[in-house]
Chains A and B, each alone.
Chain A
Amino acid sequence: MKGTEVSKKREDRIGQAPKNFLGLSSRGEEVMAYWTFVLPGFLIYLFVMAFPTFFAAFLSLTNYRGGALFGPKSVIWGNIAPERKMKIIGFDYYAQMFHDKYFWLALKNNMWIVFISVFGQIPLGFIMAYLIFRGMIKGKDFFQTVIYLPCVISTVVIGRLWGAFTAPNGALPDLIRLFKPGYVAGNSTHPMIPVLFVILWMYTGTYLIIFLANLQKIDTSVIEAAKIDGATEMQALRYIILPALSGVIVTSAILAISGSLKSFDLIYVMTSGGPAKQTYVLSIFMYDSAFKGAPNYPLANAVSMVMCIISFTMIGITKAVEKKFGGRE
């Protein structure tokens, strides 16, 4: 009874309102409210993420090597000697970057990280998830928790821990000596190997969780029915499980590829790009250009632009693949 009264009241009010049922004044209020809710966050976001991207594009074309950009002493419009002013010089620093052999070494090491992610982390993560899913074992939660554990610990702790463990006077040579007496630890000929191993160790758990979550969406009765009809485990894997996961596998591969650009913390802590820049990746190359010795900001910004372009390309591919496979849930 009371309910119908209320709804009747509402109908009356709607009846009174002009075409736009909230009326003109509340349309203005609506716009005001919208921007009040959206702007504070959006301005911070623009300042922190969007502006630096365009700013890097601009600075990479100049010879800016430090100094005030704003205020009376600005290197752009300030009242200072003309030779100290910033100039737009075009693509000189891109040329310098492309002629730097360490840029190519860094890019190559980034590719190694892509390789270990796509052909190491994803298959291993998949195998573990598959075993947990199909084995129907006890302690699923335990295995998932333990294997994902390295991923939640600070990279500084991880990097220092493995740095101490794999050092020539660390525990790893001792461990090797247990199996191969007389082993002498020298400088490794492949300094990226320990780094790649730690990356594999640290992030494989992520893919275990992703794959397990998606495997659990598969209807197991379909697999059981196929088994009763005489399908082998491999056939079930080939014709039921893998097709159901194809979207996730592709998305994970793209995530892994773009994620390889993110490797900074671990390498910075473990090797700082050494020995002799052999473990450089793009982000460390950029960091060193900006902070080691005389700051070379234009070069750092040129590297930054290369990374942005790779990153945006990957985003575009992700979106295209999502559309094709319907990966979004």
Chain B
Amino acid sequence: MSTKIKDTNSVGSKIFKAITYVILILFALLAILPILWLIMSSFKTSQEYQLDRLGLPKGIFYKNYIEAWKRGNFGVYIINSVVYTSITTIAICILGMMSGFAFAKIPNKATKGIYASYVVGILMTLQSIMIPLFIIINQVKLYDTKLGVLIPYIGIGLPMGVYLCTEFIRSVPNALVESARIDGAPYGRIFFGIIVPMSAPVATTLAILTVSGTWNEFMLINMLTSSTKNKSLPVGIQSFAGSLSTDYGKLFASLTIGLLPMLIFYLVFRKEITKGVAAGAVKG
């Protein structure tokens, strides 16, 4: 009797497994085919694309990339993106650990209120304040400057950073900090000597999340910059793509250039990124 149940179960589970594979492979294809189509089309000449928009390219027409790179200023944009992303990430990690240390280990009545305001900042919809932010950046004469992009980026990423660091540093044993205090160590030395080295894991997670968020940011930097020397890669691609009318080869080549840095970053750090996504949702 019991073996019979087991048998039907295993047949059922085999069918279930097969259906599962079919459905998941379909979804995976749906997710990846448009991206493969883009990369494939980037190797066609514009005429070839207009004649056959779905087929494989006849050859590897890599000139699209050379021309797009030459005309699109992508070198400048990539350097700018690296500058924005790295400074923002470093600043958020340092400021996040500093605030996290103070909130978690230095008693103060202000902690409750300030920390709560950061938590509101995590959930706040940034889009709702873009126009006032633009007016303010304009008024303090930071429009179209790198600083005028970096300050908003740091301020926007900070709530998440403070939250993650505070929660992590809370788990550092109080005894460590207290005994250092009793031995007369100033808070600065405790921070650099104990907290920073111990916070390496949370700083890594935070850095990976901040890099992927900052690199792709488009709305603010599109509004806050106007000259080539300050635009980031997404803004540069948007304006370059806008200048092409039917030059599809160069369009697809420039989009592929825009795709590659994040694609590589994602494939390297996918475990950490998915972990961060899952944790972010639970945190709410």
Query: How many residues of chain A get a CB closer than 8 Å to chain B's CBs?
Result: 110
| A residues near B219, Cβ cutoff 8 Å | 264-265, 268
How many Å lie between the Cα of A12 and that of B117 in the bound state?
A: 41
Task: Flag A17-50 by CB within 8 Å of B: 1 or 0 each.
Answer: 0000010001001110110111011101101111
A interface, over-half SS: helix
| Interface members, chain A 185-229 (any B CB < 8 Å) | 201, 205-206, 209-210, 212-214, 227
B274→A38 contact, CB < 8 A? no
Chain B residue at minimum C-beta to C-beta distance from A173: B53
Task: Flag B201-223 by CB within 8 Å of A: 1 or 0 each.
Answer: 00000000000100110110011
A40→B127 contact, CB < 8 A? no
Asked whether A111 is an interface residue with its Cβ less than 8 Å from the other chain, the reply is no
How many Å lie between the Cα of A142 and that of B21 in the bound state?
A: 12
B31→A45 contact, CB < 8 A? no
| B residues near A175, Cβ cutoff 8 Å | 54
| Interface members, chain B 54-104 (any A CB < 8 Å) | 54, 95-96, 98-99, 101-103
B interface, over-half SS: helix
B125→A311 contact, CB < 8 A? yes
Asked whether A174 is an interface residue with its Cβ less than 8 Å from the other chain, the reply is yes
Task: Flag B180-217 by CB within 8 Å of A: 1 or 0 each.
Answer: 01100011100100000000000000000000100110
How many Å lie between the Cα of A203 and that of B160 in the bound state?
A: 20
B54→A174 contact, CB < 8 A? yes
| Interface members, chain A 238-252 (any B CB < 8 Å) | 248, 251-252
A49→B124 contact, CB < 8 A? yes
Of the candidates B28, B162, B237, the one whose C-beta lies within 8 Å of that of A41 is B162
Residue of A48, A146, A254, A287 ringed by the most chain B CB atoms within 10 A: A48
The interface size bin for chain B is 35 or more
A328→B282 contact, CB < 8 A? yes
How many Å lie between the Cα of A38 and that of B27 in the bound state?
A: 46
| B residues near A269, Cβ cutoff 8 Å | 218, 238
Task: Flag A146-185 by CB within 8 Å of B: 1 or 0 each.
Answer: 1111101111110011101100011100110010000000
B132→A38 contact, CB < 8 A? no
Which of A79-87, A90-98, A100-108, A129-137 is the interface stretch? A129-137
Closest Cβ–Cβ distance, residue B176 to chain A (whole Å): 13
How many Å lie between the Cα of A327 and that of B284 in the bound state?
A: 8
How many Å lie between the Cα of A165 and that of B274 in the bound state?
A: 28
A38→B103 contact, CB < 8 A? yes
Asked whether B3 is an interface residue with its Cβ less than 8 Å from the other chain, the reply is no
Of the candidates B35, B133, B188, B238, the one whose C-beta lies within 8 Å of that of A48 is B133
| Interface members, chain A 289-317 (any B CB < 8 Å) | 290-291, 297, 300-301, 304, 307-308, 310-312, 314-315
B121→A49 contact, CB < 8 A? yes
Asked whether B1 is an interface residue with its Cβ less than 8 Å from the other chain, the reply is no
Asked whether B34 is an interface residue with its Cβ less than 8 Å from the other chain, the reply is yes
| Interface members, chain B 130-175 (any A CB < 8 Å) | 130-136, 139, 151-152, 154-156, 158-159, 162
Given A128-B24, A154-B259, A304-B129: A162 touches B123 (CB 8 Å cut-off): no
A301→B21 contact, CB < 8 A? no
| B residues near A31, Cβ cutoff 8 Å | 108
B186→A322 contact, CB < 8 A? no
| Interface members, chain A 43-99 (any B CB < 8 Å) | 44-45, 47-53, 55-56, 59, 68-70
B212→A55 contact, CB < 8 A? no
Given A175-B54, A258-B123: A156 touches B128 (CB 8 Å cut-off): no
Chain A residue at minimum C-beta to C-beta distance from B6: A228
Chain B residue at minimum C-beta to C-beta distance from A38: B102
A146→B28 contact, CB < 8 A? yes
Of the candidates B102, B123, B255, B273, the one whose C-beta lies within 8 Å of that of A157 is B255
| A residues near B135, Cβ cutoff 8 Å | 55, 59, 69, 297
Given A44-B158, A160-B237, A209-B274: A171 touches B30 (CB 8 Å cut-off): no
A157→B136 contact, CB < 8 A? no
How many Å lie between the Cα of A47 and that of B123 in the bound state?
A: 17
Closest Cβ–Cβ distance, residue B30 to chain A (whole Å): 7
How many Å lie between the Cα of A291 and that of B143 in the bound state?
A: 15
Complex A-B: 29 CB contacts under 8 Å? A30-B187, A31-B108, A37-B187, A41-B99, A41-B158, A50-B121, A51-B136, A55-B132, A69-B139, A149-B31, A152-B273, A153-B35, A154-B258, A154-B259, A157-B234, A157-B255, A160-B237, A171-B53, A201-B31, A209-B278, A262-B125, A269-B218, A283-B130, A304-B132, A308-B128, A308-B129, A311-B123, A315-B123, A318-B284
7 closest pairs, A vs B, by CB?
A48-B155, A213-B278, A307-B128, A135-B20, A33-B187, A41-B95, A37-B102
Please give the residue numbers on chain B whose beta carbons come within 8 Å of chain A beta carbons, in ascending order.
9, 16-17, 20-21, 23-24, 27-28, 30-32, 34-35, 37-38, 41, 50, 53-54, 95-96, 98-99, 101-103, 106-108, 110, 114, 117-118, 120-121, 123-136, 139, 151-152, 154-156, 158-159, 162, 179, 181-182, 186-188, 191, 212, 215-216, 218-219, 222-223, 233-235, 237-238, 241, 248, 251-252, 255, 258-259, 262-263, 265-267, 270, 273-275, 277-278, 281-284
Additional pairs, 20, CB under 8 Å, beyond known A33-B188, A142-B28, A287-B223: A37-B191, A44-B158, A45-B121, A45-B155, A56-B129, A131-B23, A132-B24, A137-B17, A137-B20, A137-B21, A145-B270, A152-B262, A154-B216, A155-B218, A156-B234, A157-B38, A210-B278, A213-B274, A318-B123, A328-B284
